[in-house]
Amino acid sequence: MEILEYQFFQNALIGSLFACIACGIIGVYVVTRRLVFISGGITHASFGGVGLGMYLGINPALTAFVFAAASALGVELMGRKEVREDSAIALFWILGMSAGIIFCFLTPGYSSEMSTYLFGNILTITPADIITLAAISLILSLVTTILYRQIVLVAFDSQFASTRGVNTRLIQGAMMLATALTIVATLRLVGVVLVMSMLTIPQMTALLFTNNYGKGILLSIAIGYAATLLGLILSYNINVPSGATIILCSIAIYTLCRIAKRTSGTQ
Tens of pLDDT, residue by residue over 152-184, are 999 998 888 888 888 888 898 889 889 888 988
Average pLDDT over residues 1-16: 81
The answer to whether 217 and 24 have CB atoms below 8 angstroms apart is yes
The pLDDT tens digits of the residues spanning 109-148 come to 656 667 777 777 787 888 888 898 999 999 999 999 999 9
The pLDDT tens digits of the residues spanning 80-107 come to 666 777 788 888 888 888 988 888 888 8
- Looking at every residue in the chain, the average pLDDT score rounds to 86
Indicate the fold that domain 2-260 takes in CATH.
Answer: ABC transporter involved in vitamin B12 uptake, BtuC (1.10.3470)
| pLDDT on residue 134 | 92
Q: Is pLDDT larger for residue 207 or for residue 59?
A: 207
Most confident of 61-65, 152-156, 263-267: 152-156
The pLDDT tens digits of the residues spanning 224-259 come to 999 999 998 898 888 888 888 888 999 999 999 999
The answer to whether 113 and 58 have CB atoms below 8 angstroms apart is no
Most confident of 9-18, 127-136, 212-221: 212-221
Residue 9 above 70 pLDDT? yes
| pLDDT on residue 45 | 87
pTM summary value:
0.87
The pLDDT tens digits of the residues spanning 20-44 come to 999 999 999 999 988 888 888 888 8
The answer to whether 219 and 166 have CB atoms below 8 angstroms apart is no
Q: Is pLDDT larger for residue 267 or for residue 3?
A: 3
Nearest to residue 42, comparing CAs of 81, 75, 78?
A: 75
Residue 205 above 90 pLDDT? yes
